[in-house]
Structure 1
Amino acid sequence: MKGLNIPVGVSDFAEIRQNGYYYVDKTGLICELLKTTGTKVLSMGCHELSAGLEV
């Protein structure tokens, strides 16, 4: 099994993509959390949150 290139401490998404780092998009989990808890943490909805994130 090939080792994973994990971006520890890297917050720049462009750098993550350019360097081939391993990335897991958890946007869906955020939306599910907001739906199940009823908490309004973000000022935008799930549709707006995930819009434009597809690569």
Structure 2
Amino acid sequence: LDPAAPSRGGERPRTLVLEGVRRCLQQQCEQTVRILHAKVAQKSYGNEKR
């Protein structure tokens, strides 16, 4: 996403994210963020050769 590009609503995506974060911090929301990425899922088992 290009932060400078307008979204469908006319506002920039970065602006929407910042407003959401500010609102959540003011209201003391609890959020869970799960980051899934292939590199994170790879495990190394000692002397295992690849």
Same fold (TM > 0.5) = no
Greater RCO (CA < 8 Å, at least 6 residues apart) = 1
Q: Which has the larger radius of gyration?
A: 2
TM-score normalized by the length of structure 1 = 0.32
